[in-house]
Amino acid sequence: MTARISLDTVNDLPDAAFTEQFAGIYEQSPWVAQGAAAARPFSSVTALAAAMAAVVAAADGDRQRDLLRAHPDLAGRAALRGELTPSSQSEQAAAGLDSLTPDEMERFQRANRDYRDRFGFPFILAVRHWGKSHILAAYEGRLGNSLAAERAHALAEVDKIAFSRLLALVVPAATGRLTTHVLDTARGCPAAGLPVTLERIRGGTAAVIRQDRTNADGRLDAPLLEGAEMEPGLWCLQFAAGDYFLASGQPLTAPSFLDLVPVRFAIANPERHYHVPLLLSPWSYSTYRGS
Amino acid sequence: MTARISLDTVNDLPDAAFTEQFAGIYEQSPWVAQGAAAARPFSSVTALAAAMAAVVAAADGDRQRDLLRAHPDLAGRAALRGELTPSSQSEQAAAGLDSLTPDEMERFQRANRDYRDRFGFPFILAVRHWGKSHILAAYEGRLGNSLAAERAHALAEVDKIAFSRLLALVVPAATGRLTTHVLDTARGCPAAGLPVTLERIRGGTAAVIRQDRTNADGRLDAPLLEGAEMEPGLWCLQFAAGDYFLASGQPLTAPSFLDLVPVRFAIANPERHYHVPLLLSPWSYSTYRGS
Amino acid sequence: MTARISLDTVNDLPDAAFTEQFAGIYEQSPWVAQGAAAARPFSSVTALAAAMAAVVAAADGDRQRDLLRAHPDLAGRAALRGELTPSSQSEQAAAGLDSLTPDEMERFQRANRDYRDRFGFPFILAVRHWGKSHILAAYEGRLGNSLAAERAHALAEVDKIAFSRLLALVVPAATGRLTTHVLDTARGCPAAGLPVTLERIRGGTAAVIRQDRTNADGRLDAPLLEGAEMEPGLWCLQFAAGDYFLASGQPLTAPSFLDLVPVRFAIANPERHYHVPLLLSPWSYSTYRGS
Amino acid sequence: MTARISLDTVNDLPDAAFTEQFAGIYEQSPWVAQGAAAARPFSSVTALAAAMAAVVAAADGDRQRDLLRAHPDLAGRAALRGELTPSSQSEQAAAGLDSLTPDEMERFQRANRDYRDRFGFPFILAVRHWGKSHILAAYEGRLGNSLAAERAHALAEVDKIAFSRLLALVVPAATGRLTTHVLDTARGCPAAGLPVTLERIRGGTAAVIRQDRTNADGRLDAPLLEGAEMEPGLWCLQFAAGDYFLASGQPLTAPSFLDLVPVRFAIANPERHYHVPLLLSPWSYSTYRGS
C-alpha cells in the first residue's frame, strides 16, 4: 500500500487535483469526485464518502445506470484480459476471483449472464471480504429482487466499494474506538471481574491484542482500540464467562453450559464507535452493535 | 476407562452389589447408594443420580455435614500423600491440580484454610472441567456467601460430582440429542439455507463433526447429535451468517459486522435434549439453551 | 362487511368474472387481476396475493409507475371531492384521515406536494392500521430515500394494501395459528406453570380471549388461536412472570423487577403461524416472531 | 405514613435511640439494630440496610433460626387475633391477606403447617407487592427446596422485608435515576426520534408521568426519573416502535408486527440507577436491567 494522504491534504487540494485524486473511487466515473469537491472541507473519510454518495444519489436515473454499467463483471471478460482498473483488480483478487477452477469460472459466467439479462447492468458486490462461494450465493439471492429494489441494492454496493477505496487513499480521522460492557441478566447487575481478550483475525489465525477484566460497572477502564488501532477487518472478543460464573457463585452444571464466549465481528468504518456488549446468563447470551 | 455397565445391569444387581458398585459415587459415603437401591428400576442415569441426590437431601443436617467433610481438600494434604480416592485423584488431575507451582500450591493451601475456617467443611467443586486459575477464583466468590447459602452450594457441587462419576460407570440412556434453529429477527422469518458446522473441542483443538444447512423452517433435517454421540464436554456450532445475509440480499457493511458466528457450549447431561438456537440479525444475535 | 367468498369460489370463477371480482385490489388496475387469473387454483389468500404481486413485479417500469400514479393522495383532492374508490375511502377513514383539523390538512397537502416533487408519484402507505401523526412521520422518513429505494418501497406498500383488500373479499385458509413458548434463561429450562393470558385489543380496549398455563415444556397444550380465530389486528399476550418466579423460588427484589410481562403484537396474515415466544429471566426478557 | 427522618438524623442519633428507632426493622429482633449502630455514618438507606443484614449474616445459626421463628405466619393465628406487629399487619394487608375467603384461609393454614413441618420455621416472604394467589404458589415452590437452600432463601426474604421497612422510616439518598436507551438491531444504530412515555402504575391504573423522544444516540436528554421521583413500585415504559419504524422507512407488514412496546417493571431500591434499555427490530425486542 502506498502512503495514504491526510484529510488536511485532501481539503487543501485544488479542485482539479481533488478530482484527479479520487477519479477512480467510483468506477470510471470522475464526475462523482468532481461533484463532491465543493463540499470540502471534510473532517472525516466518512464525510468525504457521504459527499460523494450524495452526488450519485442526486444524479439522474440514466447517469446512475451508466455508473452501474461501468463496473466490470466479477471474474468476467475484462478480468480475463487483464483490463480491470487497479482497484477492481485488487478487490477481485482479495476475494479469490483470480484463481477459479474451470467449473467455478463457468458458474460465474452463467451467473453474470443471468443477472445482466434480468436487470440490464452487471452484478456488483463489495467482494473484498467475501469468498467465492459466498459471492455465488449472493447472485442467487439478488436475482429474486425486483428491479427497483435491486437498483437500490447495487447503488448501495457501489457506495461501499467507494468507501473502502477511500480508506486505502486517505488516513481516517482518529475518532473511532472499540468498547464493551458485560451485564449479568440472571442477577440483574454488571458482570464485574470478567476477563476479556481481544483478538485480531487474519487469514483464519487469531492474534491476541489485549487482555483486560471488566470493572465494577461491567466495562473496561479504557477502550479496547482507539484511533489508528481501529483497523477495518475481523476481530474477536473472548469473554471468559465461566470464570465469572464461578467467582460469582452462580449454580452451574458440570461442565457449565457456557464457558468461553467468543464474539467475532468486523470493523468496517474505523472512524466510528463500535460498542460490542454482552448480555450474559449461565444459559444464554446476546450481543449487538451498540452505541 | 473400564467398560461401563448398562442400566439393565444396574437394575438387576442385588441390593448389596448395587451399594458396592456405587459406594464411591458420593465420597466415602456408601449409605447414599444403599438408600437409593430400593428406588430401582431406573430408566436413565439422570434418574439414578436423582434418586441418590434425594437420599442426601432427605438426610439430616449432621449427616450432610459429614458428607461434606468426607471430601478431600483440593490440592491438599491427602492429595500430596497420594491418599485420594481414585475418583478424586482423577478429577483433581483433570483440572491440573496435580502439577501446581509452589506459589499456586501455597495459594490453594491458604484458600482451603480460609474456607474451612469460615464454613467448617472443605471447599467442594466439580473441578474436572475447570482450570486452576478459575478454581482459585471460585474460592473467593464463595467465601462471600452466607453459611446457609454455601451449604446449599456445596451439596449441589457434591451432586454434580456424583453425576459425573455415574456417567463414568453406567452407559447413559440414548434419549439425548442436539438440535438448532436459526431465526432472522431483522426479517421475522426462519433463516433458511444457512450453513451450520458442528465441532468437537478437546484440549483447545476443534474437529469438524458435521456440516449441514438450515431448511425452510430454519432447522436442520436431523439432530446434530443423537444417543451415544452426545458426549459430555465442549462443542462449538459455527453459523455462517454472512453467507446467509448475502444470499438473502440484506443490506450489509463491507466487511459485514457479522460473518461466522461461533457458539461454544458444553453438554453436561448426555441424556437430555440440548436445543441451541440462534436469533440473528445483521447486527445482533442471541443464543440460549432452548427446549 | 359484505359476506366474503371462499377460495373454492375464487378458483371456480370464469376468467372474466375473476378479473372483475378483483379489479380494484390494485388501485384502478384490473390488468393485475387479469394477469393472475391463469395461476389458479389458489390454496390460500396468501398464494392469490403472491400471484397478483408477481404480475406487478413482472410488469415493465412504465406500467409500474402508472400503477403508483393511480393511487390517490392521502387526504388529497380526490378525498375532499368524495372521488376515492370505496376501498381507498374506507382505508383513509380507518386512519382518521377523513377528520383532519385545518392545520393537519395543510401538513398533509404540503407533505404530498414535497413527496410528489421528489419522486414523481404519490405517497403510498398501507394506512389502515396507523394514526395520522404516524403517517406524517412516515412521509418524512421516506423523503430521505433514493428514488430506486423509494420505488421499491412504494410497490411493497401497494402489495400490502392489495393483501388487506383481498382479506376483505375472500375467506382465508384455516392454516394459521398462534402459539407461544416460555424459556427460563436464568435457569436454562422451560418455564413451566407460567400463567398466560391472551387479549384482543380494539380501539385501545383489551378483551380477555383465553387464559392458560405453560406445560412442562414451557408451551401451551393447544394453540392460543387457530383457523378462523386468527383475526388480523392487535393482540396482547400477558405473561405472569412474577407468579412463575415466586413458584420457582428464584431470588427476587421486593417488588420484583418483572411481574406481568405484556407483549403486544399484530397479526397481519391470518393464514400464517405466529409463534411469539418469551425468553425470560428475573431481570430481562426477549420476544420475537418465531416459527 | 408518618414523616420520614433524614439520613443525617439517623447518623446523629445516640446509640440507644438508634436501636429503639429501628428495633422492629427485623421482626422482634432489636439486636440487629443494636449491632449496626456502630457502623454509622451511613450515606444511604442501602448502606444502612446492608449493615443490618451483615449483623444477621454474622450471627450464629441458632440466632438466625430464632429470627426466622420470630416471624408470624401469613394469615395465621397471630393475624386472626390481631397480635401482629404494626409492620407485619400493614404488609399482610397490602397483599390482601386480611380479607381471605374461608377456602383461601384454609389453604394458607395448610400451607403454613406443611412448610413449618418441613423446615422448622414459618414461611417468610416479602409479600407487600404480591397477591394472595401468587403467595400460595410461592409456598409450593419453596417446599421443594433443601433445608440449607430454604434457610438461605428465608433469610434473604427477611432482609428484603427489612429494606422495605427502612424505606418507610428514612428518606432515601437522592442518588437514584431511571434512564433508557433504544437500539435498532435490524439496522445496527441507535433508534433516534422514538417517542417514549413513562407511566406510573397503581392499582391497575396507569398515569402518564412523562413523554419524550429519543435523541440521535437513542437516549433521552434527561433521566426519566431522578432523586425523590424514584418511587418504589410499578412503572411502565411505552416505546412507540411503530412510529419509529415508519419514520425510518423499514419494511413492515400491515399492520406491523410491533407497534407500541410496553415494558412494565418495578423499582425496588430508589437509590439505585435503573437503566431499562430496549433492543428493537421490527420483529423482535429485548429489555433488561442495565447499568
CB contact under 8 A, D233 and C243: no
Percent of chain C with pLDDT over 70: 99
Nearest CB to A268 within list B254, B260, B285: B254
Whole-angstrom distance, CA of residue D154 vs CA of residue A153: 60
D271 DSSP assignment = T
User: Which of A141-145, C58-62, D194-198 is predicted with the least confidence, judged by mean pLDDT?
Assistant: A141-145
Give chain D's mean pLDDT.
Answer: 94
Of B241, B259, B182, nearest to B215 by C-alpha is B182
Compute the residue count for chain D. Answer: 291
pLDDT of residue A113: 96
C-alpha atoms less than 13 angstroms from C-alpha of B196 in its C-beta half-sphere: 28
pLDDT of residue B137: 85
- Give chain A's largest Cα–Cα span: 68
Domains and CATH numbers, chain B: 7-169 (1.10.3330.10), 177-287 (2.60.40.180)
- Assign A253 to helix, strand or coil: coil
Confidence tier at A141 by pLDDT (50, 70, 90): confident
D109 DSSP assignment = H
Count of beta carbons in the 10 Å neighbourhood of residue A17: 13
Burial of residue C75 (CB within 10 Å: 0-12, 13-18, 19+) is: buried
Whole-angstrom distance, CA of residue B242 vs CA of residue A95: 14
pLDDT of residue A120: 95
Q: Indicate whether D53 pLDDT > 70.
A: yes
pLDDT digits (tens, 9 = 90+) for B82-124: 999 999 999 999 999 998 999 999 999 999 999 999 999 999 9
Compute the residue count for chain B. Answer: 291
User: Which of A211-215, B73-77, B273-277, D137-141 is predicted with the least confidence, judged by mean pLDDT?
Assistant: D137-141
- Assign D16 to helix, strand or coil: helix
pLDDT digits (tens, 9 = 90+) for B39-62: 999 999 999 999 999 999 999 989
Of C187, B148, C234, nearest to D148 by C-alpha is B148
Of A258, A263, A262, A264, nearest to A282 by C-alpha is A258
Query: Which residues of chain C are within 8 Å of residue B183 when distances are taken between CB atoms?
Result: 288-291
pLDDT digits (tens, 9 = 90+) for C171-221: 999 999 999 999 999 999 999 999 999 999 998 899 999 999 999 999 999
User: Which of A275-289, C4-18, C143-157 is predicted with the least confidence, judged by mean pLDDT?
Assistant: C143-157
- Is some CB atom of chain B closer than 8 A to the CB atom of D288? no
D171 DSSP assignment = P
Grid cell listed for A102: 474451470
Of D291, D160, D95, nearest to C253 by C-alpha is D160
Q: Which of D165, D264, D272, D291 to mutate to test the interface with C (most CBs of C within 10 A)?
A: D264
A–C CB contacts, 8 A cutoff, strictly below: 57
3-state helix, strand, coil in chain D (%, to 5): 45, 20, 35
CB contact under 8 A, A148 and C146: no
- Assign B78 to helix, strand or coil: helix
Q: Indicate whether A231 pLDDT > 70.
A: yes
| Residue A192 · residue A227 · CB < 8 Å | no
- B93 — phi, psi (to 5°)? -65, -40
Place of cell 451498540: A290
Query: Which residues of chain D are within 8 Å of residue C153 when distances are taken between CB atoms?
Result: 249, 251
Q: Indicate whether C251 pLDDT > 90.
A: no
Alpha helices in B231-289 (DSSP H): 241-248
Q: What is the CA radius of gyration of chain A?
A: 23
Q: Indicate whether B1 pLDDT > 80.
A: no
D36-53: average pLDDT? 98
> If you measure CA to CA, which chain B residue comes closest to A288?
B284
> If you measure CA to CA, which chain D residue comes closest to B65?
D148
Contacts of A9 (CB under 8 A, 6+ apart): none
Whole-angstrom distance, CA of residue A240 vs CA of residue A261: 6
Whole-angstrom distance, CA of residue A121 vs CA of residue A112: 9
| List of long-range contacts for B118-123, beta carbons under 8 Å, 24+ apart | B118/B143, B119/B147, B119/B150, B119/B151, B119/B154, B120/B65, B121/B65, B121/B68, B121/B69, B121/B71, B121/B154, B122/B68, B122/B69, B122/B71, B122/B72, B122/B73, B122/B74, B122/B76, B123/B73, B123/B74
Which residues in chain B (40-59) have CB-CB distances under 8 A to chain C?
Answer: none
pLDDT of residue B254: 92
pLDDT of residue A260: 96
One-letter amino acid at D156 equals: A
Distance (Å) from the alpha carbon of B141 to chain D's nearest alpha carbon? 16
Confidence tier at A1 by pLDDT (50, 70, 90): low
Count of beta carbons in the 10 Å neighbourhood of residue D38: 9
CB contact under 8 A, D268 and C247: no
User: H/E element holding C179?
Assistant: strand C177-179
Confidence tier at C1 by pLDDT (50, 70, 90): low
- Assign A170 to helix, strand or coil: strand
- A207 — phi, psi (to 5°)? -115, 130
Count of beta carbons in the 10 Å neighbourhood of residue D203: 5
- Assign A37 to helix, strand or coil: helix
B125-147: average pLDDT? 87
CB contact under 8 A, A232 and B248: no
DSSP string, C87-128: HHHHHHHHTTTTS--HHHHHHHHHHHHHHHHHHSS-----GG
Whole-angstrom distance, CA of residue A210 vs CA of residue A226: 12
Compute the residue count for chain A. Answer: 291
D141-161: average pLDDT? 89
Distance (Å) from the alpha carbon of C14 to chain D's nearest alpha carbon? 30
D63-73: average pLDDT? 96
Confidence tier at B133 by pLDDT (50, 70, 90): confident
Burial of residue B203 (CB within 10 Å: 0-12, 13-18, 19+) is: exposed
Compute the residue count for chain C. Answer: 291
Chains touching A (3+ CB pairs < 8 Å): B, C, D
Query: Which residues of chain B are within 8 Å of residue D121 when distances are taken between CB atoms?
Result: none
pLDDT of residue A286: 98
Distance (Å) from the alpha carbon of C279 to chain B's nearest alpha carbon? 9
| List of long-range contacts for A32-35, beta carbons under 8 Å, 24+ apart | A32/A56, A32/A67, A32/A162
Distance (Å) from the alpha carbon of B152 to chain C's nearest alpha carbon? 14
B–C CB contacts, 8 A cutoff, strictly below: 33
Nearest CB to A266 within list B140, B161, B255: B255
More confident call, C115 vs D249 = C115
One-letter amino acid at D184 equals: D
